[in-house]
Chains A and B, each alone.
Chain A
């Protein structure tokens, strides 16, 4: 089954050529890529990631707002108890900030020098490490466990 990726473009930065190239490269590598369009808030990105049940969220930031946006996304995911969706970033991100982003749970940063093949390899590696959400569902089913707490 194909790896599913959300490609998101947060904030006011209106340059999505890179995000579209990435979407296409991942498609050509056999992945199913959901593209959100421009000007996304962290909440919209997190909601889309949950509804689409993606394996990986790729966030493209060229505006310099990465130290604001990534923490918001990571906090929101953990508030919703989502721990099986990997977050990666790309765009223009200073070397100094990369360890800080990794410390809050961002799995990988693909800077401007990264090729699309680096990106494909990186995502495949991360999914191999994390395992697929659907695989865990199968395990839960085999164990007879149920996802608790219906809020309906």
Chain B
């Protein structure tokens, strides 16, 4: 049973991870909300909502909460807004559109500032999603910051990704073509009562037809709920269908971890006396830059690249 106590524990666990007080496992061990029976293979379905700023992502999330709650599913929302790179401050306003659910114990909403991360999520978003899953929520919705083309971190977190755009953007479809196309499982043209909505939807459908995957293109007016039941239907079908995103998400995460580990090892190697000796010889013109790179790459255990 999700209740106020679970909300409190989950909230504090997320803070602890977000502020580097403990890691994910430490948070699980510390808070009673995670002390229930193991969830086994029954995991939360994680829905990612992404798209450019002002496309109506938060309003759409509000409608999705309404729809899932009508089916008695419990919902946790992690909504990310940008931090100022200058002051590190942030105004987190996604909640404004969802506040009518604030009295519902079956709904947990958490805003996160993006802090140092640049991938459309916050550094602790992935852990926050796992914690909400462990706390027993049926569905976790992750709303990214308003994104352009390259903020694709959501891939590693969500089972299903909804890319939201609006007709008024015009160039928005171009942006999607260049960047978000590969990660979308569902396209939504929101604010479909605005001029150009049909044209945007047709553009997207043409683009989908040229690609390999079958991606539904829907139109919604999140403000009044038009088209949301169709979106819910598609989402529910994806939830019950095969886990097409698992492979993609796992690949993304494995590559990222490998990259982080490789960077860590490279930096550690560069700090060794052997590496310092090579760099000294480079400084004294005894080695060319390429020779130095090859020598250092050998220390890393990898083959030296031919230049």
Task: Please list the residues of chain A having a beta carbon within 8 angstroms of any beta carbon in chain B.
Answer: 1-2, 23-24, 26-37, 40-41, 43-44, 47-48, 50-53, 80, 82, 132-135, 137-138, 140-141, 146-152
Q: Given A27-B91, A30-B89, A33-B90, check contact A148 B32 (CB 8 Å).
A: yes
B89 lies within 8 A of A31 (CB): yes
Taking a contact as CB atoms under 8 Å apart, the answer to whether A52 and B99 are in contact is: no
Which of A30, A34, A151 contacts B5 (CB under 8 A)?
A: A151
Contact of A141 with B22 in the complex, beta carbons under 8 Å: yes
| B50: min CB distance to chain A, Å | 21
Q: List 30 A-B contacts (CB under 8 A).
A: A1-B20, A2-B90, A27-B89, A27-B90, A28-B84, A28-B87, A32-B92, A33-B89, A35-B92, A35-B96, A36-B95, A36-B99, A37-B96, A40-B102, A51-B11, A51-B110, A53-B110, A80-B8, A132-B19, A134-B19, A137-B12, A138-B16, A141-B22, A141-B30, A147-B12, A150-B36, A151-B1, A151-B5, A152-B6, A152-B33
| Residue from the list B8, B18, B30, B96 in contact with A50, Cβ < 8 A | B8
User: By DSSP majority rule, is chain B's interface helix, strand, loop, or mixed?
Assistant: mixed
A-chain residues with CB within 8 Å of residue B2 when the two chains form the complex: 152
In which size bucket is the chain B interface? 35 or more
A58 → chain B closest CB, angstroms: 13
Residue from the set A36, A37, A50, A137 with the largest chain B CB neighbour count within 10 Å: A137
Nearest A residue to B83, CB-CB = A32
B45 on the A face (CB < 8 A): no
Binary per-residue interface labels of chain B (91-125) against chain A in the complex, 1 for a CB within 8 Å, 0 otherwise: 11101110100110000111101000000000000
- Say yes or no: is B136 at the interface (Cβ < 8 Å to chain A): yes
Whether B7 lies near A47 (C-beta < 8 A) is yes
Taken together as a complex, chains A and B put the C-alpha atoms of A29 and B4 apart, in Å, by 32
Task: Identify which of B35, B89, B102 contacts A47 (C-beta below 8 A).
Answer: B102
Contacts of B19 in A (CB 8 A): 1, 132, 134
When the two chains form their complex, are residues A152 and B5 in contact, meaning their CB atoms are under 8 A apart? yes
B17-57 contacts to A (CB < 8 Å): 18-22, 26, 29-33, 35-36
B26 and chain A: residue at smallest CB distance: A141
Q: Is the CB of B103 within 8 A of A150?
A: no
Give the residue name and chain of the A residue nearest to B16 (CB).
Answer: A137
Q: Is the CB of A26 within 8 A of B33?
A: no
* A47 proximity list for chain B (CB < 8 A): 4, 7, 102-103
Instruction: Kindly state the separation between the CA atoms of A90 and B35 in the bound complex, as whole angstroms.
Output: 40
Q: Which of B36, B113, B135 has the most CB of A within 10 A?
A: B113
Residues of A within 8 A of B113 (CB): 2, 32
B226 an interface residue at 8 Å Cβ cutoff? Answer: no
Smallest beta-carbon distance B30→chain A, Å: 5
B287 to chain A, nearest CB (A): 44
Q: Which of B21, B32, B33, B89 contacts A2 (CB 8 A)?
A: B89
Q: Is there contact, CB below 8 Å, between B9 and A35?
A: no
B1 and A33 within 8 A (CB): no
Q: Does B15 contact A (CB under 8 A)?
A: yes
Q: A33-B89, A150-B36 are in contact. List 9 more A-B contacts (CB 8 A).
A: A32-B113, A34-B95, A35-B91, A44-B102, A50-B11, A52-B111, A134-B16, A149-B5, A151-B5
State in angstroms the CA–CA spacing of A48 and B97 once bound together. Answer: 13
Question: What residues of A have a CB within 8 angstroms of the CB of B12 in the complex?
Answer: 53, 133-134, 137, 147
Shortest CB distance A146–B (Å): 6
The reply to whether B136 and A137 form a contact with Cβ atoms under 8 Å apart is no
- List residues of chain B with CB within 8 A of the CB of A24: 91
3 A-B pairs with the lowest CB-CB distances in the bound complex, closest first = A37-B96, A27-B89, A151-B5
- Bound CA–CA A31/B36 (angstroms): 35
Residues of A within 8 A of B20 (CB): 1
Return chain A residues, CB-CB under 8 Å to B31: 146-147
**Min CB gap B149→A, angstroms:** 26
Report which residue of A47, A50, A135, A138 has the largest number of chain B beta carbons within 10 angstroms of its beta carbon: A47
Cα separation A16 to B15 with both chains bound (whole Å): 28
| Cα A135 to Cα B95 with chains together (Å) | 25
B204 within 8 A of A: no
Contact of A51 among B1, B87, B88, B109 (CB under 8 A): B109
- Closest Cβ–Cβ distance, residue B80 to chain A (whole Å): 12
Q: Please name all residues of chain B whose beta carbon is closer than 8 Å to the beta carbon of A32 when the two chains form the complex.
A: 83, 89-90, 92, 113
